[in-house]
Amino acid sequence: MTSPATALRSEVKDRLHPVIEQKGFSREQASSLFTPFRRERDGKVHVVEIQWDKYQRPAFVLNFGEAQSGELVINGVRVAAGRVTPAECRLNGRLQRYRCGSAGCWFRLRKPWVEMLTTGKWNFRPDEVADEVAQAFGEMEEWFASKAEGPHIYIPRAGR
């Protein structure tokens, strides 16, 4: 039996991975929940990871972060920049369908209620979701360049 997320995972791999790689990121070893990408630019390391829903639902988010190249000290432990994750970066955030802190804002096949009512359809097609993320990826590139927060960028802050 296949997971409900199988078709979406396939479309993301076919449509989004090439977009990320065209921006200079290299794909690293993936797990069932995370597909990481990394690049070094201007003395910094940029990390992007696709995080899939842990219950195999057709939903995901792109976590991203920026750290200095070289060795970092995180919670008293030395970590090479080539192994740092977005969560360990001092500057990090998420690219998602809406700017909010809940998993309900992730990219997913299920349409928001308003869109369900206006279109009469419950779900997006997997290729529509993958294309939506690929188009929003430019906002993440803008964040890396200037720290500007677009409509799909969520930056967690203390006290939110």
Q: Report which of residues 117 and 48 the model is more confident about.
A: 48
Q: What is the pLDDT of residues 30-80, one digit of tens each?
A: 999 999 999 999 889 999 999 999 999 999 999 999 998 877 777 777 887
pLDDT at 1: 57
Q: Which domain holds residue 107?
A: 6-148
Total number of domains in the chain: 1
155 assigned to some structural domain: no
Q: What is the pLDDT of residues 84-101, one digit of tens each?
A: 889 888 899 999 998 888
Cα 113 from chain centroid (whole Å): 23
Between CA 148 and CA 139 the distance in angstroms is: 8
Cα 58 from chain centroid (whole Å): 14
123 assigned to some structural domain: yes
158 assigned to some structural domain: no
160 assigned to some structural domain: no
Average pLDDT over residues 113-136: 92
